């Protein structure tokens, strides 16, 4: 059966809302990353998994935050799980801690166009997470455009960034994906799915 909804949670405070979205949906997937992995032991999440929800978390983010595997909790996955969820779900909702993106209607599958919007200062750890996720999308045959809003402009204006940022930028560019600087947060780019960080 086709995946009806995929929800990215990168803010533990959003878990309840995410679980409301997937309630009573036959084929739903939840992916926790960044600070969202802290929500892994939540009893309501464990109960939803017991009821059939497919939930995974970013093993690397969990390890960095001391979150360990728990019986009945989400499985320890990777950015591959995240990327294939974004590629294959009919509806994708992203809750990263800023604005909530709800993308619906575009045909799922390879080549789907994903806009990763950077809304924060380039030094904010969420920007590094956004770019890491974008590299995962690229590896799962999604077409990525990184939309750089004014607060993140320094990302492209300078090469003086953490090695992880520089590597992600070089990887995305090397694989043929684009970076677009926009003047305002209202500037939209053509895409199927949007994920704002």
Residues that bind another protein (CB under 8 A): 58-60, 63, 76-81, 83-84, 110-113, 132, 135-136, 138-139, 141, 143-144, 167, 171, 175-177
CB of 134 to another protein, least distance (A): 9
- Long-range Cβ contacts of 161-164 (<8 Å, 24+ apart): 161/122, 162/128, 164/128, 164/131, 164/132
Closer CB to another protein, 79 or 96, in the complex = 79
Closer CB to another protein, 43 or 176, in the complex = 176
CB of 83 to another protein, least distance (A): 8
The dihedrals phi and psi of 55, each to the nearest 5 degrees, come to: -130, 135
Q: What is the largest CA-CA distance in the chain?
A: 48
CB of 112 to another protein, least distance (A): 7
Cβ neighbours around 168 below 10 Å, total:
23
Residue in the block written with tokens 């492209």: 156
CB of 42 to another protein, least distance (A): 21
Q: How many angstroms from the chain centroid is the CA of residue 73?
A: 20
Consecutive H or E run containing 9: strand 5-9
Closer CB to another protein, 43 or 174, in the complex = 174
Closer CB to another protein, 20 or 141, in the complex = 141
């Amino acid at each position: 059966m086709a995946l009806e909804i995929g929800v990215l949670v990168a803010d533990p405070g959003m878990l309840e809302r995410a679980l409301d979205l997937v309630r009573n949906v036959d084929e739903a997937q939840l992916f926790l990353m960044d600070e969202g992995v802290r929500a892994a032991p939540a009893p309501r999440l464990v109960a939803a998994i017991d009821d059939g929800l497919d939930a995974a978390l970013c093993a690397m983010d969990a390890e960095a935050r001391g979150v360990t595997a728990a019986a009945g909790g989400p499985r320890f996955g990777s950015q591959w799980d995240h990327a294939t969820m974004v590629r294959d779900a009919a509806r994708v909702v992203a809750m990263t801690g800023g604005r909530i993106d709800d993308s619906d209607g575009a045909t799922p599958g390879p080549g789907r166009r994903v806009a990763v919007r950077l809304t924060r200062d380039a030094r904010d750890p969420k920007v590094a997470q956004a770019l890491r996720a974008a590299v995962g999308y690229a590896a799962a045959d999604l077409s990525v455009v990184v939309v750089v809003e004014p607060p993140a402009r320094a990302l492209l204006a300078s090469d003086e960034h953490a090695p992880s940022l520089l590597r992600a930028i070089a990887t995305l560019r090397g694989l043929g994906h684009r970076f677009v600087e926009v003047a305002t947060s209202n500037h939209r780019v053509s895409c199927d799915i949007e994920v704002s960080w």
